[in-house]
Structure 1
Amino acid sequence: MSKSNSSTLRNLENQSDEVTFILLGFSEYPELQVPLFLLFLAIYTVTVLGNLGMVMIIRINPKLHTPMYYFLSHLSFLDFCYSTVVTPKLLENLVVGDRTISFTGCIMQFSLGCISVVTETFMLAVMAYDRFVAVCNPLLYTAVMSQKLCSLLVGTSYSWGIACSLTLTYFLVHLTFRGNNIIHNFVCEPAAIVSESCSDPYIIQKILLVSATFNEISSLVIILTSYIFIFITVMRMPSTGGRHKAFSTCASHLTAITIFHGTILFLYCVPNSKSSWLMIKVASVFYTVVIPMLNPLIYSLRNKEVKETVRKLINTKLMSFNVK
């Protein structure tokens, strides 16, 4: 084991026994604890069933074994992972008086969540490139979007997500904390963790800013460039039916990226002050809890193949039930 890795583990072990974080969440609204618990539990149930169901549907239907659905299955998996990293602790804090989370638990929640978010950011960009090839070069689509390229794009997205997470986690672990630290949110987000540190936060704050800005801008450049070319190609199509069909293939993806990046940009614009804590919490709920639920609904409701597969599965189950 390298010296840096052993140092990181030693620092994590030294702080894990004595440092805790208190996730205040929505504790200032005691009368809403039970209603919020029931609401978030329902959302989480739909998220798990929707995303794992989407992965299963794509696997069992040969018609869906295409690059677009291959990327969609990974998007659903990432949404499931991110929601599972955040929501169970949120539900626990709504019904249990003790809102503490250990130093190790907080760092792990951030690290796993970071992998999911960064990977999803670039997975959406990869899906935009896939739509660009499908609309602008339909005759070359099969050749260009080969299985090898698809695997490479997905693998690169995961690798970059893991690299970002490990880098940020390394610097967070080497900060110094003392006793109980209050986080005015329900999730261990990096800015709140850094603000509770006794160390000089300058380096980690700059790294967080550069990393977040790079990931957001680079992914948006890929998405916007792809859709500019798609728009130009579609507007040059002679028939209205062709234009409508081309736009319909992009509608679900456009909806997903608008919600995802719109929420991220909104969080960037909200000042991290006491007066804006509630707004940050609401946006965080949408970002961490609601969006993972929306993506499978967006793609299933607008997709004939997915709806047809679901219909066949339901009919098969009903027939087997009637036979019994």
Structure 2
Amino acid sequence: VFRQSDTGDGVFSVLVGDYGSGKTHLLMHLAERALKERRPVFWLNLERMNLDLGQPQRHMARLLETSVLPLRHKPTALDQAGVWTRNPARLAKLMAALEEIETEGTEEAAGAHKALRLARGADDPGHALEMYLSAQDIEDRSASASYRRDAFRRFLLFVDLLKRLENCQGPVVLIDEAENLYTTGAPWSARRTALRSLAFYCGGAIPGAAVMMAMTPPAYEELEKEARRLLGEADEMASTLDLEDVGLFRRRLRQLEPEMVPNLSGPQRMELAERVRRTHRSVRGRVEIPDWSERVKRLSREHKSPRTLIRTLVDELESLWWAGA
């Protein structure tokens, strides 16, 4: 995934697995791998953001807040905005980088131009730039094309600054709980605007980005069924931005071969059970369970999902510990 993302337009893939199969866990592994390669990680968790996914001016600040950067102490993007703007020497380097970007004629250049204009007109340039880069000043704005473009430009600018100032590689965008587009009762119009926003993240607008979206099989089937129609409608809307490349996103979805989360085998579930017991023992101490092997065999047959198996095992161990206590 990372090697392909370095080719320019980036790469987009979908991770498909049942509820509790370990999709988020796999995304966390991908995030750790990304950080080791100096790639900033941005989490777009639809568990919290499904209602305003189609409004980037509202979710951009939270996207930055939940990010992890491959720097010392693994700061968020919001933390790093403060680092750049609260120290005179770092602020001078930031201003110089913005002036360099401003000359390049890109979407990032337009964002840099606005940032410089705000800084030069402010009594406290550092504070003005921190507010601009954090996108907190547009959270309450409407979903008009101008504010959506403003939000996207700020994100692209932040990614560019990370490359120039911190020697970061292309970003990784992890979109978790994407099935909530179809499980929360969102109307088709909301799904259309959500897919339009996803076209920015997944349609090649972010240079060198690796984008992975996780969802359940039923939700992926629904996405396949309606994406062509909804993205076609979005493509015809006058308010759709060039940055929201719905045409490319639609082609990527059509050509996509999703990554399937493999189910754990019987021996793997047994091993997972033993790891749960060792972890419980490290916290609670030893708990005598004469029929442990039989319990594990039974629970491993009854619970195919790693999440439900772990929860059931913890409940069993806690009950036995309390009974012994």
- Aligning the two structures, in what range does the TM-score lie when normalised by the shorter sequence? under 0.3
TM-score (norm 2): 0.28
TM-score (norm 1): 0.28
Q: Which has the higher helix share?
A: 1
